[in-house]
Structure 1
Amino acid sequence: MRVVAKFGGTSLGSGDRIDRAADSVAAAVEDGHEIAVVASAMGSTTDDLLEEITFEAGDQDRAQIVSMGERTSVRMLKAALSARGVEARFLEPGSDDWPVITDEHGEVDVEETRTRALELAEEMDEVVPVITGFLAEAHDGTVTTLGRGGSDTTAVMLGKYMEADEVVIVTDVEGVMTGDPNVVEGARNVGEISVDELRNLSFRGAEVVAPSALSYKGGNLGVRVVHYLHGDLLTGGTSIEGEFESLVDMREQPLACLTVAGRAIRNQPGVFQSLSAALGDHDVNIDAVASGVDTITFYVDVDEAEFAENILHREVIKQDALSSVTLDDPLAVVRVTGGELPNQPGVISEIVNPLAEAHINVHDLITSATSVAIFVGWADREETLEIAQDLF
């Protein structure tokens, strides 16, 4: 089996932990597996280096300085593997067969990186490449970086381009947990989680796998997260299932828009819960929710609109904080899913401006970590879908 193992900063934070990492790699090699290693900077080295740059430094100087953490890690790991009789060599920007290449815009040059990664993979039956994470090299030889979480990105990207069977992210957690174990008593490991679920969690603060890394996960590439104390690269942890696909789709059935109004409704504890619970208790499915200072809007199937309106009206009568409920239908929703859409500057205007130019009124627009939902009149659905498909 061909495996790319990424060791995070915590898992390389001391000599003992480097020994543990080397032991796990050596054991996998002894069992006949092809292993490539991606190493982060030891401990908090990168952050420490950044804090010490108190002067004006150009991008190239800054990249060279922060690269020292990863450059040290690969040398340490290579030496530890050699001490165990494992044939290994470290690779960093500037090495003859360095694999991760960026273009003039600082983006990964996919074709060149894939070609180099495959060439490197052909040697993995004889040698363990130990590769600096986070770093890349431009065509002119300058050092570039892959941004925050770049070591995860390096690992999953190389796993894809090396045609590996699995990428193992070795970190300081058991895997993906049901809650933060430092806060939630009884938090336990989740055996598996989908790419979509984990990307959304990652965008909202779960520091497990960088969202940018999961963009490279294909359906045939396994990705697993294990604790550095586990000691076995090939078992345990949390398996990340599926792949993240960029897509544009339209709900086939029309939606109704039910808006409940009330003064400072957002600041009234329990109001949203009571409204959504009332709909759920009557088996009304909520497709989407939007909120304002004085309103909460529920999108439900148009066939359930009048029933849902009556349910919400009863809640309005019961609660002094609420004043009215209104119904608007039929509406269509077009969802654009993929990449890091809401985190890309200008992406909302890229969507809204062409719709405005086509004289399409956007009734609502809801963003999540990885998608944008566009609500328009039912008559405008086909044109909206076509515009969104042209854009993405």
Structure 2
Amino acid sequence: MRVVAKFGGTSLGSGDRINRAADSIAKAVEEGNEIAVVASAMGSTTDDLIEDITFEADEADRAEIISMGERTSVRMLKAALAARGVNATFLEPGDEEWPVVTNELGEVDVETTRARAQKLAAELDDTVPVITGFLAEDPEGNVATLGRGGSDTTAVMLGNYMDSDEVVIVTDVEGIMTGDPRVVEGARNVGRITVDELRNLSFRGAEVIAPSALSYKDGDLDVRVTHYQHGDLLTGGTRIEGQFENLVDMREEPLSCLTVAGRAIRNRPGILADLSTSLRDAEINIDAVASGMDSVTFYVDSTRAEEAETLLHDEVVTEDTLSSVTVNDEIAVIRVTGGELPNQPGVIQGIVSPLADADINVIDIITSATSVALFVAWDDREDALDIIQNQVQE
């Protein structure tokens, strides 16, 4: 089995933790597995170095300084492996076998990086490479960085390009939890989660794996998150499934939007639950919800709109701080899904502006970390779909 194991800063935060990491790597090698290691800077070294740059420094000097955390980690971990009889070598930018290269735009040079990674993979039966995470080498041979969470990106990218069976992210949490164990009782480990679910959580504050790393995961590559105390690289934790796919999809049946207005929307706890429950009890599916300062809009199938309006009206007349309910029929929804959406500045404008140029009014937009839903008049749906598909393909 070929595995890329990434050890985060907390899992290398002390001599004892480096020993624990080396033990788990040595055990996996002894069992006959091919292991490549990606190491982050020990503890908070990178943040400390950044804070200490209180003087003017150009990007090249900053990158060299910041890289010292990872450079130290790989030397420590390589030495710990050697002490256990494991044939290991450390790699950093500037080495002949260094794999991660950027182009003139500062983006990963996929062709060159893939070729170097595959060459490195061919040597895994002989040695364990310990690779600095977060770092890259530009076309002139200077040190470059991959941005926040770059060690995760290094690991998943190399796992992909080295045709690995699995990437293991070793960190200070036991995989993905059902909730923050510091806040809620009974939080437990989630055995499996999809890339879309995880990316939405990541962009909403769950710091488990860098969202940028997941764009390198394909359907054949397993990615798992596990705790450094577990001690076994090949078991435990949470398995991340699937891959990001760019998809433009239009709902085949029209929707109606029902908007409830009133100051209770933001002033009375539970009002949204009451409104939603009235629809749920009638088995009316809510396709989407959008909220404003003093209103909330429910999108439901047009065939159930009249019934939904009656139910919501009953809630309005029993709640003094709700004003009214209105209905807008015959609405189409087009959804754009893609793992790279959050990394594309101006992506919303790039989709909406061509619609405006075609005199197509966008009734509503609902976004998440991995998707954009655009609501337009039903009669405009085909033209809107063609425009959006052309924009996404570009």
TM bracket, shorter-chain basis: over 0.9
- Paired residue for 2:307? 307
Question: What secondary structure sits across from 2:272 in the alignment?
Answer: helix
Contact 2:40 2:133 (8 Å CA) reproduced: yes
Q: TM-score w.r.t. structure 1 length?
A: 0.98
Alignment of 1:359-370 (within 5 A): 359-370=359-370
Q: 1:18-29 to 2 correspondence within 5 Å?
A: 18-29=18-29
Superposed displacement of residue 343, structure 1: 5.4
1:346 and 2:346 equivalent? yes
Counterpart amino acid of residue 11 in structure 1: S
Give the AA of the match of 2:4.
V
In structure 1, C-alpha distance between the alignment counterparts of 2:240 and 2:6, rounded to whole Å: 15
Tell me what 1:31 maps to: 31
How many Å separate the matches in 1 of 2:267 and 2:154? Answer: 43
Q: Counterpart of 1:170?
A: 170
Contact map agreement 1:156 1:167 (CA 8 A) in 2: yes
Segment of structure 1 superposing worse, 294-303 or 40-49: 294-303
Letter in 2 for 1:251: R
State the SS of the aligned residue for 2:137: strand
1:299 is displaced (CA, Å) by 0.6
Q: Which residue is equivalent to 1:138?
A: 138
- 2:390 alignment counterpart: 390
Match of residue 51 from structure 1: 51
Residue pairs, 1:113-128, within 5 angstroms = 113-128=113-128
Q: Judging changes above 3 Å, is the alpha-carbon distance between structure 1 residues 293 and 342 closer, same or farther for their aligned structure 2 residues?
A: farther
Q: Which one-letter code corresponds to 2:175 in the other structure?
A: G
Q: Which amino acid aligns with 1:150?
A: G
Query: Does the Cα contact within 8 Å between 2:290 and 2:297 map onto a contact in 1?
Result: yes
Partner in structure 1 of residue 98 of structure 2: 98
Count of aligned residue pairs for this structure pair: 392
Instruction: Kindly indicate whether residue 365 of structure 2 is the aligned counterpart of residue 337 of structure 1.
Output: no
Report SS of the residue matched to 2:252.
Answer: coil
Partner of 1:240: 240
Determine if contact 1:81/1:87 at 8 Å carries over to the other structure: yes
Matched, 1:377 2:389: no
CA distance, structure 2, for counterparts of residue 101 and residue 225 of structure 1:
26
> Matched residue of 2:193: which SS?
strand
Counterpart residue number, 2:76: 76
- Closer, same or farther: CA 214–342 of 1 in aligned 2, 3 Å: closer
Q: Partner of 1:130: helix, strand, or coil?
A: strand
* Residues 264, 271 of structure 2: 8 Å contact kept: no
Secondary structure of residue in 2 paired with 1:213: helix
Q: Distance in 2 between matches of 1:340 and 1:113?
A: 20
- 1:163 and 1:336 mapped to 2: Cα distance? 29
Report the equivalent of 1:187.
187
Cα distance, 1:264 vs structure 2: 5.9
| 1-structure distance, mates of 2:229, 2:71 | 24
Secondary structure of 2:229's aligned partner? coil
Corresponding residue SS for 2:144: strand
Please list the CA deviations of residues 152-181 of structure 1 after superposition, one character each: whole Å capped at 9, or x if unmatched. Answer: 111011000100000000000011001111
* Partner Cα distance (1:321, 1:115) in 2: 65
The 5-angstrom pairing of residues 11-22 of structure 1 reads 11-22=11-22
- How far residue 344 of structure 1 moved from its aligned partner, in angstroms, is 3.4
Give the unaligned 5+ runs of structure 1.
none
Question: How far 1:265 moved relative to its partner?
Answer: 2.4
Instruction: Let me know the Cα RMSD of the aligned residues.
Output: 1.1
1: CA distance between counterparts of 2:180 and 2:255?
36
Deviation of 1:340 (Å): 4.2
- Could you tell me which residue of structure 2 aligns to residue 263 of structure 1? 263
243-252 or 126-135, which deviates more: 243-252
Q: Report the counterpart of residue 206 of structure 2 in structure 1.
A: 206
Q: Return the alpha-carbon distance in structure 2 between the equivalents of residues 181 and 62 of structure 1.
A: 37
Corresponding residue SS for 2:86: coil
**Letter of the structure 1 residue corresponding to residue 203 of structure 2:** F
**1:318-345, CA deviations, whole angstroms, 9 ceiling, x for partnerless residues?**
1111111111111111111113424533
Superposed CA offset, 1:224-278 (max 9, x none): 0110000000001111111121221111111111111113622332111111111
- In 2, Cα distance between equivalents of 1:264 and 1:343: 36
Deviating more after overlay: 263-272 vs 38-47:
263-272
Partner of 2:41: 41
Q: Distance in 2 between matches of 1:49 and 1:64?
A: 11
8 A Cα contact 1:178 1:187, kept in partner = yes
Q: How far has the Cα of 1:380 moved from its partner?
A: 1.2
Unmatched 5+ residue regions in structure 2? none
Alpha carbons of 1:260 and 1:343: their partners in 2 closer, same or farther (altered >3 Å)? farther
Q: Contact conserved, 1:63 with 1:145, CA < 8 A, in 2?
A: yes
The amino acid of 1:262's aligned partner reads G
Work out whether residues 93 and 136 of structure 2, in 8 Å CA contact, stay in contact via their aligned partners in 1: yes
For residue 215 of structure 2, what is the amino acid of its counterpart?
A: S
CA distance in 2: counterparts of 1:134 and 1:157, whole angstroms: 11
